[in-house]
Structure 1
Amino acid sequence: MSIAVVGSKFKIEEPNNNKPEYIIIHHALAKHCTIDDIQRWHLELGWSGIGYHYFISKEGYIFEGRKEEQRGGHCKQGDMNSRSIGICLEGCYQEYKNQTDKDVPAKQLKALFNLTKHLQRKYNIPVSNVKRHHDFAPYKLCPGNYFPWEEFILTLQEENILPDIDKHWAKDNIYKVVAAGIMEGFPDGEFKPNLTVTRAELATVVANLLDIM
């Protein structure tokens, strides 16, 4: 799976007062765009920069926008900008001019799943607090009526990767390689970081690396 986590290149002047209790999912309302496009659009609105903390391309690449500790600019209702992490997906998953996408790419969904699970564990956010922008701003369809929301939430509820690494010395690196799609948990939902890797697991890791390169 071709996923990379790219660090933020934007200097955004916002206070470091974000205390994440929620994860809020958006779409860009644009069939094709980049994180640079969104940065430009938000600057043109007079904002300090991109309002989202993360952007995920259709190819499954994860880009950092604002720092997680910075107040967001993606959901003003309920003071969510200081209580959540905002994730934006490239694409337009609703009927809108000539921009409409009716299918969310599998790579993008997988990257969203990995990032969401990582953020849930990092901030102790329950699945019930993983929300659509629409849940706070009902006049919007965001992230679109074509986004498979019920299936996505069900997957978050059923899959529980990495429950046994929270206190492991290498947890940050483990989160990174899992978010990058290089390694995953075992079928029983555990990661077992202290076990010796098998040849089959090593072959899978190398194959995923070759796919990314």
Structure 2
Amino acid sequence: MTKLTVNDIRVELTTTPKEKTPDDKLGFGSVFTDHMFIMDWSVDKGWYDPRIVPYGPIPVSPALNVLHYGQSVFEGMKAYNANGEAVLFRPEQNFKRLNKSSDRIALPELDEEFALAALKKLISIDKDWIPKSEGTSLYVRPFLYGSEEALGVHPNNEVKFVIILSPSGSYFKAGLQPNKIYVEHEYVRAVRGGFGFAKTAGNYAGSLKGQKKAQELGYSQSLWLDGVEQK
């Protein structure tokens, strides 16, 4: 397969830029920038057609494999404004972990160097979306998912890699201060031989029941115990 470079990235700029949300009105993960990065993979072609396009819906089939079998992984990192420049903190480690997650659920691995170059190009286009106030950042969400239109449990023969950007404030509504944590004794997120270490969609779906319980009891988050010894 041909090694991709940043020069292979096709760029289509939006003709209808969105109005930016003031920093003091930002929540977490609910506002998105003008553009996103998309790249496709197939068994025959490998990774191909890297592109930066206007942010918007991605058409899907009701038979899309990922909707039925959950073959999807993601990462999360942040870009900050530092004297007018966009600064990332060890993004190469996030792409290493993304590949580790992908390997666990049989998704194709990315060229980490190219993925980082693509992210930097996307941020350079949407750099004006990076909030400047203390406690804010541009949240970066890279993700892969099986995009094959086919039922039947099997590793996908078609995959999409997408990066979206979201100017955000604090993840917790209470802000950066001590948060109440509930120790979860009933449910677990990881067991020996499982994929609790991987940032998969299913891993997070399995956490929501415990998270909901914690919130109903007045806590901000759950502390998960060892799946075998409950320690």
TM-score by length of 1: 0.26
Question: Larger radius of gyration, structure 1 or 2?
Answer: 2
Query: Larger % of strand: which?
Result: 2
TM-score by length of 2: 0.25
